[in-house]
A and B are shown apart, each in its own frame.
Chain A
Amino acid sequence: MSPVRPYNKNCARRSNGVRFKIAVLSLMLIALFAEDVFCNEESQARSLFYQGNTQYRKGDFKEAVLNYQKALDSGFESGPLYYNIGNAYFKNGSLGKAILNYLRAKRFLPRDADLKSNLEYARSLIKGGAVRPERGFFARQFFKLADAFSLDKITLFTSVTYFILSLALVLFIFIKKIRRILIYITLLVSALLIVFSSVLYVQVSRTVIEKKGVIITDGTNARFEPLDEATTFFSLNEGECVTLVTSKIDWVKIKRPDGKQGWIQKRDIEAL
């Protein structure tokens, strides 16, 4: 008969402690390893970016595009990366893809003067000119404001304004002496919060709800039905920006800024 081992509370506690330490250590190791993997991948993407730049300087724009694209495929993105891809495509003669990548870059560099200039120039080369939506004065100002912030910046601004508003409300509840001033502050911050959250909504809806795309094939025919034989409704030029409405196997239903809708082949468009 084997002797019954007495239950040792201390022993159990100690083993629990060791387990906890091991768990923490392994978590730290995993975190370090993950960080290391992240760093490795990032440095690889960086190196591909610089390789792309070297090819661009040599005038080998096709190879430059390939390297930039590889950097993107590794799962990373940045404003300058999209900007350079746009330039390489432009030099390659792919106006549609150039505009597409400039528009992608705009999400990261909303106020970059170089990007603005290149995008304007590329747009000016669209055959027949780009169709722009007609907007009233206030809508124009609002969208100007919306375009001036990157998505992360406006998210942060909205959040900070919301925190300030909450703080003002807390002070309003507890300190009666300064309630009069707090009313004005609360109103002002609330107005700011409305503006910021509207901008945030517009920006998120652009990326999630109302997806945009750019025509990459010149003379794309938008048809009444998603069939090759369907009657052409209107034609689209390379570089035109449209809204994606719905898709069906090889076809996408698109909406032009003037509201006209038609079906085009998926290969003729690339989503932003």
Chain B
Amino acid sequence: MKDLKQKLKIQSLERVFILFLIIVSVSSISLAEDISFEVTADRNKVYLGSIVRLDLNFYGTQNIPPPDLPDIEGFKWQYLGPSSRISIVNGVTSTSITYMYTLHPLRTGIFQIPPLVVHYKGRTYTSNPIQIEVEKSQFGQTSRSVEEKAYDEKLSGLEDRVFLIMEAGKKRAYINEIIPVMIKFYVRRLSVRDIQYPQFSHEGFLVDKYDKPRQYREVLSGNLYEVVEFTTNVYGIRPGQLKLGPAELKCNLLIKKSRRRRSSSFDDDFFSSDPFDDFFEHYERHPLNLTSLNIPVTITELPKEDVPAGFKGAIGDYRFYLECDPKEIKAGDPITLKMTITGEGNFKTVEAPSLGLGDGFKVYDPESKQEANRKIFEQVVIPKDDKIKEIPRIIFSFFNTKTGDYHTVAKGPIPITVRPLPKGEELRVFEAPAAPRGETGRMEILGRDIIYIKDAPGTLRRKDDFLYKNRLFIVLQFIPLLTVMGLFLFQKRRERLQRDVRYARRIRAPRKARKNLRMAHGLLAAGKPAEFYNAVFKALQEYLGDKFHLPTGGITSDVVEDLSRRNINGDILNKLKECFADCDMARYAPSSITREDMDKTYRLFGEIIDRLERIKI
């Protein structure tokens, strides 16, 4: 009967499972079949410079990822974004997702957008092909002319809202003198994007790189303008009346699309009120070229009179400092001369001051370091003998553009102490050209390139096959943790067993009882009633003594009274009483004991231990 019930249960479960499978498969098929794919373009005729919107519509799903369009001949595409719809009509829900792209025509002609193939969940969906005709803009008489007109109209009143101003810091300058140039782009209440760095004609000038453009607001003729300021420096390289500029700047102006255009006959786009339409279709970018006025600048040559002997072309207002380190050396050791030139001017014209050190020194090429408003030259010189007592005077000359005359600054002489070489040691400086690499004072220019390829591939291993991802390795990491935890708990228990006698006895009680139970069973099987009851009695004594921490020897049936005060179930106590009574009976009237009595006592004993073990004390 039971088997039959179980069988029926299994069969019904199988049916439910099969039904479930059928439902799942049918629903998945129906879901899969419900998906359809369609491609639409907002127009089939387009002019160069305009855009076409291409919509990839998937009906019946919203989970399909956006497909990557292939290269479409004659167009450049760009992904705009998704738009999903859910509609419930008469309780029937339909979902769809549209991925929108813009197509920018690259040349004229008739182009076909081939059927697009999308793979999703193992199924392939193919769209319909679309033909688009691209024409030159001048043929689009109606729409383009309207559009251009509107654009021209819009641009015509913009001169005071977007313009470019170029300013030069000086109108007269000497050759190589720094002329700061500032190009300011002003814009008021217009959206401008893609502002490029301005270009300007600069014949007869050298131009530095632009600094980081600055952006701020400025009030001009009572109007607040957003200003982008580009600054750079130029240097005149030939004398004469020269012109800087005009500067030209390219940017894109965002112009709101004319409403007329949307309703024109060519643009049959009745878009829904999709927010993307508003965002992408209502503004158009129009390239804007802004031009500034040019600036006449007069470049004059430096005066040819009173040119100092050490003048190397430095132009500006400078100060010159000289340091020498170390000042105490032995012959052949290098001294570093640090020549610092600070101030304002064209540092490109500043060269290392010439040293008139004479034959007593070996002189190397200076190393220069350019910092903001400072140029440092470090020159290594080596005194050849101990007769040299000083670094002679060093002269730096420059042309001061502010005062219009030449200046010369002299530093030194700096006294130095050159010790003679110890006996037996040769002067290394004379050997310098042939000295091995790394010799003091040796300035060697090393070539630089990459180091050659490796000959062997080393240990090749599977990509991403890292040790920390290895499952066996991860599992192994748990072993020490579990071992430490296990051993810790084991040690804690062992210590408690040694310390707490009551706990130790209670823990040992069931184990000992089970052992005694086995022994009693042996005696029962051997048919030794006296020994059996003796063993059961002793086992009960031991068990109760250990369990309740009582002296074992004194435990008799009286213990039941004691245990009744410890909230132990009355049924167990009765059974305990019965077991003790059986033992007493067997001891005093052994002849009346039958095998059944022994079996009963044995079961009783087992049951008492079992039930007492379940009680929490």
Task: Give chain A's interface residues, CB within 8 Å of chain B.
Answer: 42, 45-46, 49-50, 53, 56, 71-72, 75-81, 83-84, 87-88, 90-91, 108, 114, 117-118, 121-122, 151-152, 155-156, 159, 162-163, 165-167, 169-170, 173-174, 200, 204, 207, 228-229, 231-232, 249-250
- Segment at the A interface, from B453-461, B517-525, B563-571: B453-461
Contact assessment for A75 and B480 in the assembled complex, using a CB-CB cutoff below 8 Å: no
Q: Which of A79, A87, A250 has a CB less than 8 Å from the CB of B79? A: A250
Residues of B within 8 A of A159 (CB): 473, 476-477
Interchain residue pairs A-B with the least CB separation, the first 9: A166-B480, A80-B454, A49-B457, A114-B451, A76-B460, A155-B467, A84-B453, A118-B450, A78-B458
A90 CA / B476 CA spacing, docked (Å): 43
Contact assessment for A152 and B467 in the assembled complex, using a CB-CB cutoff below 8 Å: yes
16 inter-chain pairs at a CB distance below 8 angstroms, sorted by A residue, are A53-B453, A76-B463, A77-B462, A78-B459, A78-B460, A84-B454, A91-B450, A114-B451, A117-B451, A151-B468, A162-B477, A166-B484, A170-B484, A173-B484, A228-B78, A249-B79
Q: How far is the CB of B228 from chain A (nearest CB, A)?
A: 12
Q: Which of A53, A118, A163 has a CB less than 8 Å from the CB of B451? A: A118
Q: Looking across the interface, which residue of chain A has its beta carbon closest to that of B66?
A: A249
Residues of B within 8 A of A170 (CB): 483-484, 487
Residues of B within 8 A of A76 (CB): 460-463
Contact assessment for B454 and A166 in the assembled complex, using a CB-CB cutoff below 8 Å: no
A121 CA / B463 CA spacing, docked (Å): 27
State whether A90 and B463 are in contact (beta carbons under 8 Å apart), knowing that A108-B458, A173-B491, A200-B468 are contacts in the complex: no
Residues of A within 8 A of B466 (CB): 151-152, 155, 207
Contact assessment for B463 and A166 in the assembled complex, using a CB-CB cutoff below 8 Å: no
Q: Looking across the interface, which residue of chain A has its beta carbon closest to that of B285?
A: A229
Contact assessment for A81 and B460 in the assembled complex, using a CB-CB cutoff below 8 Å: yes
Residue interface mask B463-504, A partner, CB < 8 A = 1: 100111000010011001101100110010000000000000
A122 CA / B459 CA spacing, docked (Å): 25
Q: Which of B450, B457, B460 has a CB less than 8 Å from the CB of A90? A: B450
Q: How far is the CB of A182 from chain B (nearest CB, A)?
A: 13
Residues of B within 8 A of A249 (CB): 66, 79
B511 at the interface (CB under 8 A from A): no
Further 15 A-B residue pairs, CB within 8 A, beyond A77-B463, A173-B488, A249-B79: A50-B457, A71-B457, A72-B463, A75-B462, A77-B462, A78-B460, A84-B453, A87-B450, A122-B450, A152-B466, A152-B467, A167-B480, A174-B491, A204-B468, A232-B194
A-B contact count (CB 8 A): 105
Q: How far is the CB of B88 from chain A (nearest CB, A)?
A: 30
B562 at the interface (CB under 8 A from A): no
A218 CA / B286 CA spacing, docked (Å): 27
State whether A80 and B457 are in contact (beta carbons under 8 Å apart), knowing that A117-B451, A118-B450, A231-B194 are contacts in the complex: yes
Q: How far is the CB of B249 from chain A (nearest CB, A)?
A: 15
State whether A45 and B460 are in contact (beta carbons under 8 Å apart), knowing that A83-B453, A90-B450 are contacts in the complex: yes
Residues of A within 8 A of B453 (CB): 53, 56, 83-84, 87-88
Residues of A within 8 A of B476 (CB): 159
State whether A77 and B451 are in contact (beta carbons under 8 Å apart), knowing that A151-B468, A152-B467, A231-B194 are contacts in the complex: no
State whether A121 and B66 are in contact (beta carbons under 8 Å apart), knowing that A77-B460, A80-B456, A155-B467 are contacts in the complex: no
State whether A166 and B491 are in contact (beta carbons under 8 Å apart), knowing that A56-B453, A76-B461 are contacts in the complex: no
Contact assessment for B462 and A46 in the assembled complex, using a CB-CB cutoff below 8 Å: no
Q: Looking across the interface, which residue of chain A has its beta carbon closest to that of B80?
A: A227
Q: Looking across the interface, which residue of chain A has its beta carbon closest to that of B448?
A: A121
A42 CA / B458 CA spacing, docked (Å): 12
Which residues B188-223 have CB closer than 8 A to chain A?
Answer: 193-194
B449 at the interface (CB under 8 A from A): yes
Q: Main secondary structure on chain A at its contact with chain B?
A: helix
Q: Looking across the interface, which residue of chain B has its beta carbon closest to that of A72?
A: B463
Q: Looking across the interface, which residue of chain B has its beta carbon closest to that of A38?
A: B462
Contact assessment for B457 and A45 in the assembled complex, using a CB-CB cutoff below 8 Å: yes
Q: Looking across the interface, which residue of chain A has its beta carbon closest to that of B449?
A: A121
Q: How far is the CB of A204 from chain B (nearest CB, A)?
A: 6
Contact assessment for A166 and B483 in the assembled complex, using a CB-CB cutoff below 8 Å: yes
Residues of A within 8 A of B456 (CB): 80
Residues of A within 8 A of B78 (CB): 228
Contact assessment for A75 and B463 in the assembled complex, using a CB-CB cutoff below 8 Å: yes
Q: Which of A75, A79, A117, A156 has a CB less than 8 Å from the CB of B458? A: A79
Residues of A within 8 A of B448 (CB): 121
Q: How far is the CB of B486 from chain A (nearest CB, A)?
A: 10
A81 CA / B252 CA spacing, docked (Å): 47
Q: Looking across the interface, which residue of chain A has its beta carbon closest to that of B82?
A: A249
Q: Looking across the interface, which residue of chain A has its beta carbon closest to that of B283?
A: A229
Residues of B within 8 A of A91 (CB): 450
Q: Looking across the interface, which residue of chain B has its beta carbon closest to that of A151?
A: B466
Residue interface mask B553-593, A partner, CB < 8 A = 1: 00000000000000000000000000000000000000000
Residues of A within 8 A of B484 (CB): 166, 169-170, 173
Q: Which of A77, A155, A232 has a CB less than 8 Å from the CB of B461? A: A77
Contact assessment for A229 and B193 in the assembled complex, using a CB-CB cutoff below 8 Å: yes
Residues of B within 8 A of A162 (CB): 477, 480
Q: Looking across the interface, which residue of chain B has its beta carbon closest to that of A203?
A: B468
Contact assessment for B450 and A156 in the assembled complex, using a CB-CB cutoff below 8 Å: no
Contact assessment for B460 and A42 in the assembled complex, using a CB-CB cutoff below 8 Å: yes
A204 CA / B466 CA spacing, docked (Å): 10
Contact assessment for B481 and A166 in the assembled complex, using a CB-CB cutoff below 8 Å: yes
Q: How far is the CB of B471 from chain A (nearest CB, A)?
A: 14
A163 CA / B466 CA spacing, docked (Å): 20
A229 CA / B252 CA spacing, docked (Å): 9
Residues of A within 8 A of B193 (CB): 229, 231
Contact assessment for A81 and B462 in the assembled complex, using a CB-CB cutoff below 8 Å: no
A200 CA / B466 CA spacing, docked (Å): 12
Q: How far is the CB of B275 from chain A (nearest CB, A)?
A: 16
Q: How far is the CB of A53 from chain B (nearest CB, A)?
A: 6
Q: How far is the CB of A266 from chain B (nearest CB, A)?
A: 11
State whether A78 and B477 are in contact (beta carbons under 8 Å apart), knowing that A87-B453, A166-B483, A250-B79 are contacts in the complex: no
A169 CA / B483 CA spacing, docked (Å): 10
Residues of A within 8 A of B459 (CB): 78
Q: How far is the CB of B278 from chain A (nearest CB, A)?
A: 16
Contact assessment for B450 and A78 in the assembled complex, using a CB-CB cutoff below 8 Å: no
Residues of B within 8 A of A87 (CB): 450, 452-453
A80 CA / B452 CA spacing, docked (Å): 11
Interface centre among A80, A151, A200 (most CB of B within 10 A): A80
A151 CA / B464 CA spacing, docked (Å): 11
A49 CA / B452 CA spacing, docked (Å): 15
Contact assessment for A83 and B454 in the assembled complex, using a CB-CB cutoff below 8 Å: yes
Residues of A within 8 A of B480 (CB): 162-163, 165-167
A84 CA / B457 CA spacing, docked (Å): 9
Residues of A within 8 A of B491 (CB): 173-174
Q: How far is the CB of A102 from chain B (nearest CB, A)?
A: 9
Q: How far is the CB of B464 from chain A (nearest CB, A)?
A: 8
A167 CA / B481 CA spacing, docked (Å): 10
Contact assessment for B79 and A80 in the assembled complex, using a CB-CB cutoff below 8 Å: no
A163 CA / B480 CA spacing, docked (Å): 6
Q: Looking across the interface, which residue of chain A has its beta carbon closest to that of B491?
A: A173
Contact assessment for B285 and A46 in the assembled complex, using a CB-CB cutoff below 8 Å: no
Residues of A within 8 A of B66 (CB): 249
Residues of A within 8 A of B463 (CB): 72, 75-77
A46 CA / B334 CA spacing, docked (Å): 53
State whether A121 and B450 are in contact (beta carbons under 8 Å apart), knowing that A46-B460, A76-B461, A249-B79 are contacts in the complex: yes
Residues of B within 8 A of A75 (CB): 462-463
A247 CA / B65 CA spacing, docked (Å): 14
Residues of B within 8 A of A163 (CB): 480
Residues of B within 8 A of A78 (CB): 457-461
State whether A173 and B457 are in contact (beta carbons under 8 Å apart), knowing that A163-B480, A249-B79 are contacts in the complex: no
Q: How far is the CB of A57 from chain B (nearest CB, A)?
A: 8
A13 CA / B348 CA spacing, docked (Å): 97
